[in-house]
Amino acid sequence: MSATAELFVGRTGELAMLRQVMAEVDAGHPRTVLLTGPAGIGKSSLLERFFAESSGATLIRAGGEEWEALVAYGVVDQILRRAGRPGYLPTGRNRASPPDEPVSAGTLVLETLADLGRDSTVLLVVDDVHWADVDSLRALLFALRRLGQERVFTLFVTRDEDAVRLPNGLVRLADGSTGRSIQLGALGERDIRELATARGVPRLSLTTAQRLREHTRGNPLYIGALLSELPADRWQSWEPTLPAPRVFAEQIVRRLEAGSTSTRSLVEACAVLGVRSSLRTAATLADITEPVGVFEEAVAGGLLRATDSRDFWDATFPHPLIRAAVYEHVAPARRVHLHRRAAELLDDTGTALRHLVAASSAPDPGLADRLDAFARREMSWGAWAGAGSALMEASRLSQDRNQREERLLRAADAIVSAGDLPQASVLSAEIAAFAPGPLRDAALGYLAVLRGRVGEAEALLTTGWERAVSSGDPHLQALLALRWTLHSVGRLRGADVVEWSRRSIELVPGDEAVRLEVAALHGLGLGLMGRVPDGLAAYRSVLDSVTGDEGSIVGRLTMARSWLQIVVDDIDAVPEVLARVAPAQLRSGSIRIAVWSYIWLSRAHYLRGEWDEASTAADRAVSLLEETGHEWLRPLARWVAVEICANRGDWSAARDHLAEASAGETDCELMILAAGLAAAELAWARGDHEAVLTALDPVLFVRPPRDGIDEPGFWPWQHLYADALIGLDRLDEAAAFLDRHEREAKDRDRRSSIARLARVRGRLEAARGRMDEAESAIRHGLDQLGDLHLPFDQALIELAYGQLLRRRGRRRDASRYLNLAMDRFTALGAHPHMERCARELEGSGLIYAKKDEFDPIRLTRQELAIARLAATGLKTREIAAEMSISVKTVQFHLGNIYQKLGVHSRLELAHHMISREPSAARGDT
C-alpha cells in the first residue's frame, strides 16, 4: 500500500459524499464543496482518489499561496491559464483597481466554465483557499452564484485552523442549498489498525490503537510516521510510550529553545505531569514563584494553552504530540528528578505511582509491592485495565524471577478481564514458556475460555485445578474455580456453574472480591438450572449488601440479573438499567461485561418493540467485539442483530451478520446455540422451513446435560423448530416435540414461552383439521401475553388467529385480528410479516383498516434523528459515529427515510426537513 493510499484509510464515507455530489453535478446541478481538516488529515489523498475516479471530467486546479495573497487576480489567472485561456485577464491590476473589476473578471470565469461545461463536467479545485487573493475570491463567488445548469463542481480546500480567514460569502455558499461542507475528522481505532497492518504492524491491540488515536488525534500523517519510525515490537508491548514523529519533534524543540529558561522549565514540568495539569503544581515542580508571565510566554509560543477552572488555571498542551516532543527532549536525569518530585506533590495514589514508575530504571521491589497492592484494590471493584497496567509494571520492577512471572501472569489475567484479547494473546506466547503451574494454567485457560475453545480450556483448567489442589493454596484454588465457573457458563451447564461458584467461595470465604465475582455467575447458574426465582433472590441479596464503592462489580451483578429478568418476562425496567450499565462498564475497562450488557439491552428493546433502539445496542455490541476479539460472544451478538434485520426484511444486513455468526463442533455450546439461532431466525423470517431445521440441527443434537439449552425463556429456538416441522408436514414429530417443551414452559410458568408454543400448537391442530383445539390453543397464547408488552409476539399470534378464523368462515372476526396484527407489524417495520398479513387480507377479500392516527410517512425516533443529522451535511460515517451505530444501519434507515418522505438525495432531504420537519416527525418526537 502506497503512502497516499495509506492516508486514504477510513475515508470511504467522504469519498461516497463526493461521488454523490458529482452525480448531482452531472445531472445539471452545479455544486460547491468546502473541504476542511487539519494538516496531514488526508485531504490531498482523498482528492487524488476522487480525481482518479473522475477522469472523464475536465480538471482545473489552482491554489492560494501566502506570498501571493496580495497579488490581484492571481488565482483567477491560474484558472484561466489552465483552462486554455492565457492572457484573457487584463494585466496591471492591483488592489487599487476600480470596484467593478471583480464583476468583469467573474463574468470571464463564468463564461469559461460554461464553455468547458458543454463538453464535460468541470471539476474546479482551489487548494489553500485561505491564501487566495481577495479579488480572485470576489470574482469566483460572483461566477459561482450565477451558475444555472452548468455542470460545474467547485472544491475549495483549506485547513481547520485557517478556515477563520475565509470570507463569509464563501462560507455561506458552501452552507447554502447548492453547497456542502465536508470536514475530515480523526481516524477511528479500526482504521488505525488497518493502517498499522499496511505498515507491517499486525495485531495492533485495541488499547494501543486507542492510545495512538488520542496521541495523534487520529491524524493519519502522524500515525503513519510513528508506525514507520518505531520498531515493530514496540507496538506489541502493553501501553507503549509514544514519542512525537521526528520532524514534528524537531519543530517543537526549536520553538522551546527559543524561549526563556523559565519558560522551558515550566513547559518541561507540564510535560512530565501530563497532557493537562494545574499551573500551580507545574510552577511548584519547576521552582517558579511567579508563573503567570512565564505561562503567558509559553502560550504565545504555541507550547501551552490556558484552560479556566474554578480555582486556578489548568495548563494544557495544544496537541498531545507537543507534550510528547517536549517530554522526549528533557534530559534523562532531569526527567527522573521531576517525576520523583511530582510523586511527592500529588495526592492521587495511582498518579503518584505512575510517576515513580517513570523514574525507575532498575528493579525496585518496594515499588513493585506498592503497585501490586494498588492492582489488588483496582481489581476489587473491577477496574481491570488499571490493574493490568500496574501489574505489568510491578512485574518489570520485581527482582525475584518467580515473583516477576507471577505478577505477569496476573497482569495477563487482568488484561483478559479488561477485554483486550489481542494484547493478552501477545503475552500468552511469553507466558507459555513459563514453568508449569496453576497460575499459568489459569491465565492461559481463561484466554481459551473467552475464545470459545472448549478442549483447550478444559485441558488447561483441569491441569491447573489439580496443581492448585496439590499446592494447598486456597487462593489459587479459588481462582481456578472461578475460571471453571465462567467456562461452565460458556457451556451452558447450570449445575456446574453453581458447583464451581460454591467451591470458590468456600475456599476463601473472607475474600470480598471473590464473593462478588462469584455472585455475578452463581445466580445465572441457578437460572440455567430452572431456578430463576432463586437466582433473582440471590442477586437481590448480594446487591443489597454492596455499597456504592464497588464500581463495575455492581454493573456485573446488574447485567446478570437483567438477563434473568428477561427470561421471566420482567422486562420493563431492564432497558433503562442496562443503558446505564453498558457505558459504565466501558469506562471502568470491563469490555466483556459491556458487550454482555449491550446484547441484553438489545434483546430487551427488541422484545418491547423498540427495534430502532435494539438495532443501536446490537451494533454497539458487534462493534466492541470486532475491536476486542472475544470469540465466544461473537455469535451471540450477531444473533440479536440478525433477529432485528431479518424480521424487518433487511436481508442483506441479516446475511452479513450471519456470515460472522459461525460456530464449529469444537466451540462451546453458547457459540453453537447462538449461531444456530441466528441462522434459524433468518430462515424463519423468509419462510424457509428446511433451512430452519438445518440451522437448528447442531442445537438439537448437543449432548446432555442440556439444561441451559432447553430451559424455557433463555433461548427462543423451540417454537422456530416446531413451526418448521409443521411447515414441512412432519406433524407427528412436531406434536412430540411440542408436548415436551410445552410441559416445561408450563412448569416454569414462562408466559412468553407458553404463548409462542401455543401459537405453533394452534397451527399444528389446524393442520390436523382439529379447529376447536386450534382456536383454544391460540386463545390460550393470547391470554398468556395479557399485560406483557411484547408487541411482535402479540402480532404473530393475532395473525395466526386471523388466519384460523378466516378458515372457519368468520370473516368479521378474522378482519379484526388481521388488522390488529397489521397495525403492530407496521409500527415495528416488520415488512415480511406485513406482507404475509396483506396477502391474508387480500386472499379473503378483506381490507386493511388503517387507524386514523397512522401516518405511513411518519419517521421513527431513530429515523428522525438520522434525517436531522443527514440534513446538516454530516456524512454516513459521521452519523454512525454520532449515534454509536454501524454505517450499514445508517444506510438502511436512510433508505427508509427517502422512501417515506419521497426524496432522492440528501439535498432534497435537507430542503424537506427545513420546510416540513413538524409533519415528518409527527407522533414520534
Residue 870 has a pLDDT of 81
Residue 791 has a pLDDT of 94
Task: Calculate mean pLDDT across residues 773-778.
Answer: 96
Sheet containing 31-36: give its strands across: 58-63, 122-127, 152-158, 31-36, 179-183
Task: Calculate mean pLDDT across residues 506-515.
Answer: 85
**Residues 233-266 as b or e (16 or more Cβ within 10 Å = b):** eebbebebebbbbeebbeebeebbeebeebbbbb
Residue 207 has pLDDT above 60, yes or no: yes
Q: How far apart are CA 484 and CA 449, in angstroms?
A: 9
- % of the chain exceeding 70 in pLDDT: 90
Residue 174 has pLDDT above 70, yes or no: yes
User: Which phi and psi angles does 60 have, rounded to 5°?
Assistant: -120, 115
Confidence of residue 846 (pLDDT cuts 50, 70, 90): low
For the chain, give the mean pLDDT: 86
DSSP letter assigned to residue 161? G
Which range among 24-28, 264-268, 375-379, 426-430 has the greatest average pLDDT?
A: 264-268
Task: Calculate mean pLDDT across residues 441-469.
Answer: 92
Residue 17 has a pLDDT of 85
Residue 922 has a pLDDT of 35
CA angle in degrees (0–180, nearest 5) for 594-597-603: 145
Task: Calculate mean pLDDT across residues 233-260.
Answer: 85
Residue 414 has a pLDDT of 84
Residue 1 has a pLDDT of 46
Residue 95 has a pLDDT of 40
Measured in residues, the chain has a length of: 925
Residue 795 has a pLDDT of 96
Residue 514 has pLDDT above 80, yes or no: yes
Residue 925 has a pLDDT of 31
Region of 488 on the Ramachandran plot (φ > 0 left; ψ -120 to 50 alpha; else beta): alpha
Residue 601 has pLDDT above 50, yes or no: yes
Instruction: Classify strands 314-316 and 276-278 as parallel, antiparallel or unpaired.
Output: antiparallel
Burial environment of residue 49 by CB neighbours within 10 A (0 to 12, 13 to 18, 19 or more): buried
Residue 330 has a pLDDT of 94
- % of the chain exceeding 90 in pLDDT: 48
Answer yes or no: are the C-beta atoms of 682 and 655 closer than 8 Å: yes
What pairs with residue 811 in β-bridges?
Answer: none
- Determine the distance from the C-alpha atom of residue 765 to the mean position of all C-alpha atoms in its chain, rounded to a whole number: 46
Q: How far apart are CA 364 and CA 358, in angstroms?
A: 12
Residue 852 has pLDDT above 50, yes or no: no
Residue 240 has pLDDT above 70, yes or no: no
Residue 430 has a pLDDT of 81
Residue 568 has pLDDT above 90, yes or no: yes
Kindly report which listed range (241-245, 267-271, 574-578, 762-766) carries the lowest average pLDDT score: 241-245
Residue 641 has a pLDDT of 95
Residue 666 has pLDDT above 70, yes or no: yes
SS3 annotation, 46-77: HHHHHHHHCCCCEEEEEECCHHHCCCCCHHHH
Residues 6+ apart with CB under 8 A from 603: 566, 614, 640
Three-state DSSP state, 434 = coil
Residue 704 has pLDDT above 70, yes or no: yes
pTM to 2 decimal places: 0.71
Q: Looking at per-residue confidence, does 541 or 165 come out higher?
A: 541
Residue 866 has a pLDDT of 83
Kindly report which listed range (104-108, 349-353, 717-721) carries the lowest average pLDDT score: 104-108
DSSP track, 730-750: -HHHHHHHHHHHHHHHHHHT-
Residue 286 has a pLDDT of 93
Task: Calculate mean pLDDT across residues 199-210.
Answer: 78
Half-sphere exposure of residue 329: CA atoms within 13 angstroms, side-chain side: 26
Residue 842 has a pLDDT of 79
Which range among 197-206, 534-543, 853-862, 905-914 has the greatest average pLDDT?
A: 534-543
Task: Calculate mean pLDDT across residues 119-143.
Answer: 90
Task: Calculate mean pLDDT across residues 300-320.
Answer: 80
* Residue-wise pLDDT tens digits, 55-103: 889 999 999 888 888 888 889 989 998 888 776 665 444 443 344 577 8
Residue 591 has pLDDT above 90, yes or no: no
* Residue-wise pLDDT tens digits, 33-51: 999 888 888 888 888 888 8
Angstrom CA distances, 728 to 533, 676, 687, 866, stand at 38, 19, 11, 42
Name the helix (H) or strand (E) containing 809.
none
Answer yes or no: are the C-beta atoms of 526 and 509 closer than 8 Å: no
* Residue-wise pLDDT tens digits, 90-130: 544 444 334 457 788 888 899 999 888 888 899 999 999 88
Nearest to 193 by CA among 176, 210, 177, 179: 210
Q: Looking at per-residue confidence, does 470 or 852 come out higher?
A: 470
Q: How far apart are CA 64 and CA 136, in angstroms?
A: 10
Residue 853 has a pLDDT of 42
